[in-house]
Each structure stands twice: as structure tokens, then as C-alpha cells.
């Protein structure tokens, strides 16, 4: 065989192959709902339908494994009805790849009524037109075909059925609703137009991480505080920030409850716990007696929230929010000497004491992601502070008074929480 003729043969076989696999052409397909265990009514314009209902059911099962157990029968009523026959004849003469479905609409009111009465059944219209077979799908939702196409006529009913099944029935099949479910669904208000509850509330438990440095701000704002160490139980370069004494980057745990009115304005009460180590100078020998020295940070805050609710999907609510509030902070000391140390040093007894309580502000933003109206994940980030009012009235012995320890201690936090949401009214 010469090289030329082998190339020709190859080209010819490709042509044949593509011709065979693209023998049918889809005019349009708006993917009507395909039900599991569907009822397919075959509406044939020809006396002898070009496919066999039983064989077509098997073709459907072969083409779509998720379709379940289809039932196929001839749509006898429409095949005998003169109005339906007129429309079927008309459709056969008018189907064309250039036409949108609206040009194939059934105009006769009786025909429209027939289509609307289908109730979950799919009508498969089949009509031979010369060497082709015109195919269209109808369901109850429109008086025009939902899908249409044509395939080449062949005497093999099974292969015709396979081709039709591959063309139009390859989607995912949905479970059919029972009579009660259908009735309920009819009376159910549209998900997107349901009334918004007046008040929604939530409770959550979460954890996160906080540090002195606020992201995107320069290191040198913090380095003097963060790198500072405590000598001789009380000596630091500066005592305005608690981060001079305590480790700043630590995980925290939180509990919170909150509520919003009209998905817009709300209040949230938070409890926040973290444990910080004292930054004792390792070179200072006075600490040899010390087993551990930590502070537990307890904070109770109340913030106002401004939020907005979005519902991109019926099972998902996204509620971004801003919050601003105040908090009280308490640092509880936990200190112990090593076993066997009977008499602590003088420095230990005169060690630094923090204020009993600090107050501060918190501001930030975040979002609730609420699944199925109840189960939420909350993300938030913000800045919080703890301190004392540094601008007290000057007293006569002001010069002698030491400055307030931890007078200004801000930090940045980021956290995630698991939430339960409910709406009361």
C-alpha cells in the first residue's frame, strides 16, 4: 500500500468515526429535571414508533446508571387526539436548528393544558422527517420543548434508543417527590422571601491567637516591649505595657453569646482566657529558687455589632460584622517556688504586682458562616487593649508616685469559633 493511500484511508476512517459519533445534532437543551425512576411517555407521530419502549428503558439504564428504574410507554392519548396530532405534525415541519424554543411553542390552549397536566412525566416526542428523526422533550413547566434535536433514521430500534438516551438523558437524576411532599412544596413560601426573624442569637466556643504586634505595622514600635525581660522580679526598662513583663504571643480560648436585631444591630458578651509566662531574665541568678511564674488573663467584654446578612445559597447564611466594645481584664498570678526552698529571697517578696483590674476597648470585624440556619463557624480579627486611665488629676505628691504598670497594653488577635444559632421570634 502506498503512503498516500494509507493517509487517505486514515482520513476516511476518521471521517466515518466522527460521522458515526456525531450523527445526531442537538438544537437546544435546557436540561429539564430528570427524575429518578422516571415515567417516559413516548409520543410518536409515526404509526410505528422508531424506538421500542421496553428497549428504550434499557437504553436509559445503560446511558445513565443513576436513573433507577424507568418506566416507558407510548403516550397513547396524545397519539389519538386530533389537537395533539396537529401540533405534532406542525412541530415536525417547524423544527430547525436555527429556531429558539419559543418559536416551537404550542399555541392551542388545549395543547398547552395537556402539557401542563404532565406532572413529573417526561414526554419524548419522536417523528421521522425524511432520513432524520426529530426528537423533542416536554415537561409540565413550559408549553414549548425543553430540549430538541435530530438523529439519523436507522432501522435498528435499539441503537436509535441508545442514541436518544445518550443525547438527552445523561444528567443527574433527582428523587421524585411523594404526593404529600409535592403538596407541601406547593404551599411553602419561597426560601428567599421568607420573613426575616426579628431577633437571632448565638452562643459559641472558640480559640485563637494574639500578639502584641499588629500586622502591617513596623517591628520597632513593639521591639522594646517584646524584647524586654524582667530582672530581679520587678525591673524592666519601661512598665507602660504589660508586654514588657509577659509573653505576648499566646493562644487564647473564648466563650461568647450574642444576638442581633433585624440582622443589623447586635450585642455580644465575650469571655476570653489566655495564659502568659513572665519573661524572667535567664541570666539573673535570683530566679534559681523559682519553679514557675505565670499570669492567667481573664477578660470580660461587651461589644456592639453591626452586621448584614447574605444568603448565597438556601442552606448558607453569611453574616459579616463589625464590632466595637469595652472589656475588663484581670491578671491572676500563679507563682511557685521550687520544692525545698523554704525562704524566698527578698526580691521575691517585693516582686512586681499588677493592677487588680484593667479596662480597655476592642474593635474588629469578622463573619459568621451559618449552615442550615443553626450551625455556624465564626471568624474574627481585631485589636483589643487593656490599661488604666493615664490622665488622672495631678496630685501634690505626683512627682513621687510611680507610673501605672501596664497603663497601655494593646494587642492584635485572630480567632475561629464554633457556634450554634437560633432565632427566637
Partner 1 sequence: MGCGHNYHWSKSHPLYKKAPYGKLAVAGSSEAFVLTRSSWFAKKLGWNPDSIQLKATAFCEQVFLDELRRAYPNYVKIPDQNFNHFPEESQRLDERIFMKGRLPEQGVVVKDSAGDIPPYILILHEFIVGTDLKRETYFDYALIHNEMTDKKTSTHISAIISYTLWDNERQRPLFSAVDEVQRPITKPTPEDLEALVRSAVKQIRINLYGGVS
Positions touching partner 1 (CB under 8 A) are: 85-91, 93-94, 96, 98-100, 103, 106-108, 111
Q: CB of 418 within 8 A of CB of 207?
A: no
Q: Tell the smallest beta-carbon distance from residue 86 to partner 1 (Å).
A: 3
- For the bound state, the minimum distance from the C-beta of residue 137 to partner 1, rounded and expressed in Å, comes to 18
255: CB partners within 8 A, 6+ apart? 203, 204, 205, 206, 270, 271
Strand 71-74 with 39-44, pairing: parallel
Among residues 102 and 339, whose Cβ is nearest to partner 1? 102
Question: Minimum Å distance from CB 80 to partner 1?
Answer: 15
Integer Cα distance of 377 and 382 in angstroms:
17
Q: Which of residues 99 and 363 has its CB atom nearest to partner 1 in the complex?
A: 99
The 3 state secondary structure assigned to the chain is CCHHHHHHHHHHHHHHHHHHHCCCEEEEECCCCCECCCEEEEEECCCCCCCCHHHHHHHHHHHCHHHCCCEEEECHHHHHCHHHHHHHHHHHHHCCCCCCHHHHCCCCHHHHHHHHCCCCCEEEEEEEECCEEEEEEECCCCCCCCEEEEEECCCCHHHHHHHHHHHHCCCCCECCCCHHHHHHHHHCCCHHHCCCCCEEEEEEEEEEEEECCCCCCCHHHCHHHHCCCEECCCECCCCCCHHHCECCCEEEEEEEEEEEECCCEEEEEEEEEEEEEECECCCCHHHHHEEEEEEEEEEEEEEEEEECCEEEECCEEEEEEEEEEEEEEEEEEEEEECCCCCCCCHHHHCCCCCCCCEEEEEEEEEEEEEECCCEEEEEEEEEEEEECCCCCCCCCCCCCCCCCCCCEEEEEEEEEEEEEEEECC
Minimum Å gap between C-beta 104 and partner 1 is 10
203 strand-pairing partners: 257, 420
Q: Which is nearer to partner 1, 94 or 141 (CB)?
A: 94
Greatest extent of the chain over all pairs of C-alpha atoms, in Å? 116
Among candidate residues 206, 312, 307, the one with its CA nearest the CA of residue 256: 206
Given the complex with partner 1, which of 110 and 336 has the nearer CB atom?
110
The residue among 98 and 398 lying less far from partner 1, judged by its C-beta, is 98
- Considering the complex, state which of residue 111 and residue 230 has its C-beta at the smaller distance from partner 1: 111
CB of 105 to partner 1, least distance (A): 9
Question: Residue 60 or 95: which CB sits closer to partner 1?
Answer: 95
Q: Cell match 474574627: residue?
A: 380
| CB 85 to partner 1: min, Å | 7
In the complex, what is the shortest distance from the CB of residue 124 to partner 1, in angstroms, rounded to a whole number?
A: 19
> What minimum distance in Å lies between the beta carbon of 81 and partner 1?
12
Query: CB 95 → partner 1: shortest distance, Å?
Result: 10
Q: How far is the CB of 96 from partner 1 (least distance, A)?
A: 6
Closer of 111 and 147 to partner 1 (Cβ): 111
C-alpha cell at 414: 485572630
Q: Which is nearer to partner 1, 103 or 310 (CB)?
A: 103
Smallest separation (angstroms) from partner 1 to the CB of 146: 18
Q: 91 vs 362, which CB is nearer to partner 1?
A: 91
Amino acid at each position: 500500500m502506498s503512503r498516500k493511500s494509507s493517509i487517505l484511508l486514515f482520513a476516511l476512517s476518521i471521517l466515518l468515526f466522527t460521522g458515526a459519533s456525531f450523527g445526531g445534532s442537538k438544537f437546544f437543551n435546557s436540561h429539564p429535571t430528570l427524575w429518578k425512576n422516571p415515567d417516559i411517555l413516548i409520543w410518536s407521530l409515526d404509526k410505528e414508533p422508531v424506538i421500542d419502549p421496553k428497549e428504550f428503558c434499557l437504553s436509559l439504564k445503560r446511558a445513565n446508571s443513576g436513573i433507577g428504574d424507568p418506566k416507558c410507554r407510548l403516550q397513547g392519548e396524545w397519539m389519538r387526539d386530533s389537537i395533539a396530532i396537529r401540533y405534532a405534525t406542525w412541530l415536525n415541519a417547524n423544527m430547525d436548528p436555527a429556531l429558539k424554543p419559543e418559536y416551537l411553542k404550542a399555541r392551542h390552549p388545549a395543547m398547552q393544558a395537556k402539557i401542563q397536566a404532565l406532572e413529573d412525566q417526561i414526554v419524548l416526542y419522536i417523528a421521522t422527517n425524511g432520513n432524520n428523526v426529530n426528537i423533542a422533550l416536554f415537561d409540565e413547566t413550559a408549553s414549548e420543548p425543553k430540549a430538541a434535536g435530530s438523529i439519523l433514521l436507522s432501522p435498528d430500534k435499539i441503537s436509535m434508543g441508545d442514541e436518544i438516551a445518550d443525547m438527552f438523558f445523561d444528567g443527574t437524576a433527582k428523587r421524585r417527590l411523594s404526593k404529600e411532599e409535592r403538596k407541601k412544596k406547593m404551599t411553602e413560601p419561597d426560601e428567599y422571601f421568607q420573613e426575616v426573624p426579628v431577633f437571632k442569637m448565638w452562643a459559641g466556643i472558640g480559640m485563637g491567637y494574639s500578639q502584641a504586634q499588629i500586622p502591617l505595622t513596623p517591628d520597632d514600635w513593639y521591639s522594646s516591649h517584646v524584647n524586654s525581660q524582667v530582672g530581679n522580679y520587678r525591673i524592666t526598662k519601661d512598665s507602660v505595657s504589660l508586654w514588657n513583663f509577659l509573653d505576648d504571643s499566646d493562644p487564647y480560648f473564648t466563650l461568647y453569646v450574642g444576638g442581633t436585631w433585624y440582622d443589623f444591630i447586635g450585642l455580644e458578651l465575650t469571655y476570653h482566657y489566655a495564659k502568659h509566662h513572665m519573661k524572667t531574665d535567664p541570666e539573673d541568678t535570683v530566679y534559681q529558687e523559682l519553679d514557675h511564674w505565670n499570669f492567667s488573663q481573664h477578660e470580660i467584654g461587651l461589644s456592639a455589632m453591626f452586621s448584614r446578612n447574605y444568603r448565597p445559597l438556601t442552606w448558607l447564611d453569611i453574616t459579616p460584622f463589625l464590632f466595637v466594645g469595652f472589656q475588663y481584664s484581670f491578671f491572676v498570678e500563679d507563682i511557685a517556688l521550687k520544692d525545698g526552698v523554704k525562704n524566698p529571697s527578698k526580691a521575691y517578696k517585693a516582686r512586681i504586682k499588677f493592677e487588680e483590674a484593667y479596662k480597655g476597648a476592642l474593635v474588629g470585624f469578622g463573619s459568621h458562616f451559618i449552615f442550615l440556619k443553626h450551625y455556624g463557624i465564626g471568624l474574627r480579627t481585631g485589636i483589643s487593649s487593656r490599661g488604666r486611665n493615664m490622665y488622672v488629676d495631678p496630685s501634690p505628691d505626683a512627682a513621687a508616685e510611680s507610673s501605672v504598670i501596664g497603663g497601655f497594653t494593646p494587642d492584635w488577635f485572630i480567632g475561629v469559633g464554633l457556634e450554634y444559632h437560633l432565632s427566637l421570634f
